[in-house]
């Protein structure tokens, strides 16, 4: 019981950046704009978050700095894909390249410097006393606690509110929304920007809470894993959170097994999240399934051009 | 509705003359360089000094030009590989991993197969690089070919798996016996190394790249299988209706694509690097995607663009002399792609400025037309 609880608690902490990234991407993709550049946004979020915290001495400033950087990238990405109608897959790849470069470029100033404090685990009095659930859920850091609100809120907004209905319609049938007098372009700009800001927090989580330091390429493919997670989660924030914990537990279990003495070479353990992504993608979208995943937003990745209506 | 401000809008235009269309990527490259220069300037770096070093270091002297060409060879091979899959709408972004697996296989043949006769070691290593890269790519694309799973993320995941797989050997039984602590293999024996041209370090692998470019051109222009690949790229439904075996074509193209990336790795191991090193692809596979895309997958344009990108990498070392971080090269590459992507809309549309009249749903493109190109 104790072992399971500690594995689950670590899994949530490993899964948190994936949750931020996949929730941000779900918001963007539900509006019809696919963004494969998550890895680049997370890297920029990681470095700007770290630098902001380093210079201001405030962790909140770190998170806000990352969100601001993410929002700027989001605006730029929306300009490219919504206004200039660039190919979204290639544009996402370009974003990964530029994000990798910029994070390494800016990261020179952060290399080897240690922030004075990072997001530590805080046990919530009372709640952390609950048997089993307490140590799993309520002995985490503040950024994980924030997720307990972000994930359900994103779900509630998407599926239970009127603006959320519009957001989903944006990804399904933008022409209908346009006919109803809603500005498709403006809303897509909004949701891509908000989505990217949330993705960037996932990057900042890594440098401010998980391994408080900056190393080049610190996200190690988590952005790509999050992109796969969105498909696996059928564009639903709650499923994405569950999937992220599944990924987290694979990673944590691999490491724990080594501690117990079951020797798998560490290189193969570190492969597990990537292999897991491949397997999950195959089983969640493979055409051998009887019921095909039909929840993909119908207009995902398609440009909206008023003249081609 | 009540907005009276000036607005911009894109309007469809007639196709541009091919020569004019070619200017768009060139202009994009220049704008990208300008934008990165401004960024360096505002971040307090010496931008003009950096660019001077970049051009000196890349094409300024004969030696630097030959070194840039050497840098370009793996880029050429990987970009050609990426191009043939992108041409059939197959997003193979796994060239980085295919390169590593190719390098791994070539090293294995050259160092650990003592039963191969000495004169055959080099050819065997090259062929092994091609086959290993191709099979790795085929494995990554199998879910796409068999069950229609999206290949973009899977090919990318295979990069990380390949890197860790190579690290497993380099930090383990393949680690060099010379006692250095670096995760490198033993150097290859001289009989397993490629010939170099004249006094330069350019390896004969450049001929492999040239031949590959010609073969790819011929394949797509003149063979029925090349035609099938183009049809599948344009519309997989049309291809299926015409009775083409899509899965077979996907596997074939992917093996060739991964094989070319594997060749890049193999010719680096048997070429300038002379051993297997951890993370030796160092972004080549990702640069290849950018090159292939901005060249519109034309094999001959790819050779030229690879040379430019090779110069960018080679000159990038010079930029570090004026304290500009090496990552500027990655940023410039990505920005070039962004500006090429942004420029594409101008080849299909023209920018129109117009004033929106009150309560009028109709747009009047009455104002002057800007940006003809």
Q: If DSSP codes are grouped into helix, strand and coil, which group holds residue A283?
A: helix
For helices B299-319 and B205-222, angle between their N-to-C axes, nearest 10 degrees = 150
| Site from B150, B171, B172, B327 to mutate, A interface, most A CB atoms within 10 angstroms | B327
Output phi, psi for B323, to 5 deg. Answer: 65, 20
Q: What is the pLDDT of residue A257?
A: 77
**Which residues of chain A are within 8 Å of residue B172 when distances are taken between CB atoms?**
265
Distance from CA of B234 to the nearest CA of A (A): 15
Q: Which of B145, B126, B150 lies closest to B266, judged by CA?
A: B126
Q: What angle do CA A156, A241, A291 make, to 5 degrees?
A: 85
> What is the C-alpha to C-alpha distance for residues A196 and A42, in angstroms, rounded to an integer?
9
Which residues share a beta bridge with B7? Answer: B354
Token couple for B248:
């077979």
- Tell me the pLDDT tens digit for each residue of A206-222: 999 888 888 888 888 89
Band (pLDDT 50/70/90 cuts) for residue A294 is low
The helix (run of H) or strand (run of E) holding residue A140 is strand A139-140
Question: Which residue, chain included where needed, has tokens 């080679």?
Answer: B314
> What is the C-alpha to C-alpha distance for residues A225 and A22, in angstroms, rounded to an integer?
9
Task: Output A125 or A264, whichever has higher pLDDT.
Answer: A125
| Site from A80, A85, A278 to mutate, B interface, most B CB atoms within 10 angstroms | A278
* All residues at 6 or more sequence positions from B90 whose CB lies less than 8 Å from its CB, including other chains: B141, B144, B151, B233, B250, B253, B254
CB contact, 8 Å: B295 with chain A?
Answer: no
Q: What is the pLDDT of residue B368?
A: 42
**Which residues of chain B are within 8 Å of residue A97 when distances are taken between CB atoms?**
286, 290, 330, 333-334, 337
Of B147, B167, B338, the CB nearest to A94: B338
Query: Residue B115 class from Cβ within 10 Å (0-12 exposed, 13-18 middle, 19+ buried)?
Result: exposed
Residues across chain A:
309
Q: Which of A276, A279, A253 lies closest to A264, judged by CA?
A: A253
| Site from B42, B82, B145, B156 to mutate, A interface, most A CB atoms within 10 angstroms | B156
* Cα B104 from chain centroid (whole Å): 20
CB contact, 8 Å: B373 with chain A?
Answer: no
> What is the C-alpha to C-alpha distance for residues A278 and B352, in angstroms, rounded to an integer?
46
Q: If DSSP codes are grouped into helix, strand and coil, which group holds residue A2?
A: helix
Cα–Cα distances in angstroms (integers) from residue B78 to residues A36, B85, B327, in the given order: 21, 11, 21
Instruction: Indicate if the pLDDT at residue A105 is higher than 70.
Output: yes
- Least confident segment among A71-80, A257-266, A291-300, B21-30: A291-300
Output phi, psi for A119, to 5 deg. Answer: -70, 105
Q: Which phi-psi region, left, alpha or beta, contains residue B359 (left: φ > 0; alpha: ψ -120 to 50)?
A: left
**Which residues of chain A are within 8 Å of residue B143 when distances are taken between CB atoms?**
278, 281-282, 286
**Which residues of chain B are within 8 Å of residue A85 when distances are taken between CB atoms?**
345
DSSP state of B349: E
Q: Which of A189, A196, A195, A198 lies closest to A79, judged by CA?
A: A189
Mean pLDDT of chain A: 87
* All residues at 6 or more sequence positions from B242 whose CB lies less than 8 Å from its CB, including other chains: B231
Which residues share a beta bridge with B8? Answer: B353
| B290/A97 CB distance under 8 A | yes
Q: What is the pLDDT of residue B359?
A: 45
Q: What is the pLDDT of residue A5?
A: 85
Query: Residue B370 class from Cβ within 10 Å (0-12 exposed, 13-18 middle, 19+ buried)?
Result: exposed
| B335/A89 CB distance under 8 A | no
| B148/A286 CB distance under 8 A | yes
> What is the C-alpha to C-alpha distance for residues B102 and B100, in angstroms, rounded to an integer?
5
The three state secondary structure string of A232-251 is HCCCCHHHHHHHHHHHHHHH
- Tell me the pLDDT tens digit for each residue of B136-184: 999 999 999 988 888 888 998 999 999 999 999 998 889 888 777 788 9
| A278/B147 CB distance under 8 A | no
Output phi, psi for A140, to 5 deg. Answer: -120, 180
Task: Output B43 or A286, whichever has higher pLDDT.
Answer: B43
Cα–Cα distances in angstroms (integers) from residue A42 to residues A47, A120, A214, A230, in the given order: 9, 21, 13, 16
> What is the C-alpha to C-alpha distance for residues A78 and B3, in angstroms, rounded to an integer?
22
Q: How many Cβ atoms from other residues are within 10 Å of residue A205's Cβ?
A: 30
Token couple for B273:
């690097």
Task: Output A288 or A79, whichever has higher pLDDT.
Answer: A79
Q: What is the pLDDT of residue A291?
A: 53
If you average pLDDT over residues A256-282, what whole number do you get?
Answer: 81
Q: What is the pLDDT of residue B361?
A: 46
Token couple for B169:
């050997």
**Which residues of chain A are within 8 Å of residue B344 when distances are taken between CB atoms?**
84, 86-87
Query: Residue A131 class from Cβ within 10 Å (0-12 exposed, 13-18 middle, 19+ buried)?
Result: exposed
Distance from CA of A224 to the nearest CA of B (A): 7
The DSSP line for A35-46 is: -TTHHHHHHHHH
Distance from CA of A266 to the nearest CA of B (A): 8
Query: Residue B257 class from Cβ within 10 Å (0-12 exposed, 13-18 middle, 19+ buried)?
Result: buried
The DSSP line for B180-236 is: --SSB-PPPPGGGSPPB-TTS--BTHHHHHHHHHHHHHHHHHH-HHHHHHHHHHH-H
| B148/A275 CB distance under 8 A | no
| B154/A101 CB distance under 8 A | no
Q: Decide if B194 contacts B73 (C-beta within 8 A).
A: no
Q: Decide if A212 contacts A118 (C-beta within 8 A).
A: yes
* All residues at 6 or more sequence positions from A18 whose CB lies less than 8 Å from its CB, including other chains: A202, A222, A225, A226, A229, A243, A244, A247, A248
> What is the C-alpha to C-alpha distance for residues A32 and A166, in angstroms, rounded to an integer?
12
Helix count and strand count (H, E) for chain B: 13, 2
**Which residues of chain B are within 8 Å of residue A220 when distances are taken between CB atoms?**
160
Q: If DSSP codes are grouped into helix, strand and coil, which group holds residue B352?
A: strand
Q: Which of B79, B84, B99, B71 lies closest to B308, judged by CA?
A: B71
Q: What angle do CA A282, A87, B159 make, to 5 degrees?
A: 40
* All residues at 6 or more sequence positions from A101 whose CB lies less than 8 Å from its CB, including other chains: B327, B328, B329, B330, B331, B332, B333, B334
Instruction: Indicate if the pLDDT at residue A89 is higher than 70.
Output: yes
The whole-model pTM stands at 0.86
Of B93, B161, B331, the CB nearest to A274: B161
Q: What is the pLDDT of residue B121?
A: 94
Output phi, psi for B327, to 5 deg. Answer: -60, -15
Predicted confidence pLDDT, tens digits, chain B (373 residues): 344 456 667 777 777 777 777 787 788 888 989 999 998 888 888 888 888 888 888 888 999 999 999 999 999 999 999 999 999 889 899 999 999 999 999 999 999 999 999 999 999 999 999 999 999 999 999 999 988 888 888 998 999 999 999 999 998 889 888 777 788 999 999 999 999 988 889 999 999 999 999 999 999 999 988 888 888 888 888 888 888 888 999 999 999 999 999 999 999 999 999 999 998 988 899 899 989 988 889 999 999 999 999 999 998 888 888 888 888 888 998 998 888 888 877 777 777 777 655 444 444 444 444 444 3
């Amino acid at each position: 019981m104790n072992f399971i609880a500690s594995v689950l608690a670590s899994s949530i902490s490993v899964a948190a950046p994936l949750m931020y990234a996949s929730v941000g991407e779900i918001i963007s993709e539900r509006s019809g704009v696919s963004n494969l550049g998550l890895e680049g946004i997370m890297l920029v979020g990681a470095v700007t978050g770290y630098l902001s915290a380093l210079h201001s001495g405030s962790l909140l400033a770190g998170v806000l700095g990352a969100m601001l950087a993410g929002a700027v990238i989001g605006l730029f990405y929306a300009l490219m894909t919504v206004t200039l109608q660039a190919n979204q897959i290639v544009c996402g790849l370009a974003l990964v390249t530029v994000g990798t470069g910029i994070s390494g470029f800016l990261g020179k100033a952060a290399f080897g410097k240690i922030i004075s404090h990072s997001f530590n685990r805080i046990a919530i009095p009372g709640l952390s006393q609950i048997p089993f659930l307490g140590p799993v859920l309520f002995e985490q850091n503040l950024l994980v606690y924030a997720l307990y609100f972000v994930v359900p809120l994103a779900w509630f907004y998407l599926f239970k509110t009127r603006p959320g209905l519009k957001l989903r319609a944006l990804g399904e049938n933008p022409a209908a929304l346009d006919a109803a007098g809603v500005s498709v372009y403006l809303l897509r700009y909004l949701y891509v920007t908000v989505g990217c800001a949330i993705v960037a927090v996932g990057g900042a989580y890594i440098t401010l809470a998980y391994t408080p330091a900056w190393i080049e390429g610190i996200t190690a493919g988590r952005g790509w894993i999050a992109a796969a997670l969105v498909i696996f989660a059928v564009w639903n924030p709650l499923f994405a959170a569950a999937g992220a914990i599944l990924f987290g537990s694979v990673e944590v279990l691999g490491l724990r097994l080594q501690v117990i003495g079951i020797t798998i070479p560490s290189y193969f353990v570190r492969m597990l999240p990537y292999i897991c992504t491949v397997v999950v993608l195959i089983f969640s979208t493979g055409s051998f399934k009887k019921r095909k995943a039909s929840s993909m937003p119908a207009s995902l990745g398609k440009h909206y051009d008023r003249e081609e209506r | 509705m009540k907005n009276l401000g000036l607005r911009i809008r894109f309007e469809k235009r007639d196709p541009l003359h091919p020569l004019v269309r070619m200017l768009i990527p060139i202009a994009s490259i220049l704008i990208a360089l300008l934008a990165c220069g401004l960024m360096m300037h505002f971040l307090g770096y010496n931008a003009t000094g950096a660019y001077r070093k970049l051009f000196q270091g890349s094409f300024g002297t004969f030696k630097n030009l030959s070194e840039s060409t050497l840098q370009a060879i793996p880029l050429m091979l990987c970009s050609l590989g990426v191009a043939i899959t992108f041409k059939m709408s197959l997003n193979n972004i796994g060239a980085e991993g295919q390169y590593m697996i190719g390098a791994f296989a070539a090293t294995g043949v050259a160092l650990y197969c003592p039963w191969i006769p000495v004169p055959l070691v080099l050819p065997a290593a090259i062929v092994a690089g091609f086959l290993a890269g191709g099979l790795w790519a085929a494995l990554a694309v199998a879910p796409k070919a068999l069950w229609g799973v999206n290949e973009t993320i899977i090919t990318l995941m295979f990069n990380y798996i390949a890197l860790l797989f190579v690290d497993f050997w380099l930090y383990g039984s393949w680690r060099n016996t010379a006692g250095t602590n670096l995760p490198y293999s033993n150097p290859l024996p001289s009989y397993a190394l490629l010939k170099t041209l004249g006094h330069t370090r350019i390896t004969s692998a450049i001929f492999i790249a040239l031949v590959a470019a010609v073969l790819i051109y011929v394949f797509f222009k003149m063979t029925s299988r090349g035609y099938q690949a183009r049809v599948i790229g344009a519309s997989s439904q049309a291809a299926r209706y015409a009775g083409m075996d899509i899965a077979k074509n996907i596997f074939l193209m992917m093996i060739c694509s991964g094989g070319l990336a594997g060749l890049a790795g193999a010719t680096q191991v048997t070429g300038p690097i002379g051993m297997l090193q951890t993370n030796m692809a160092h972004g080549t596979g990702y640069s290849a995607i950018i090159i292939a895309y901005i060249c519109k997958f034309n094999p001959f344009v790819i050779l030229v663009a690879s040379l430019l990108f090779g110069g960018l990498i080679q000159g990038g070392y010079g930029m570090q002399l004026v304290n500009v971080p090496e990552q500027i090269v990655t940023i410039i590459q990505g920005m070039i792609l962004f500006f090429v992507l942004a420029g594409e809309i101008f080849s299909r549309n023209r920018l129109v400025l117009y004033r929106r009249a009150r309560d009028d749903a109709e747009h009047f493109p009455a104002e002057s037309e800007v940006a003809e190109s």
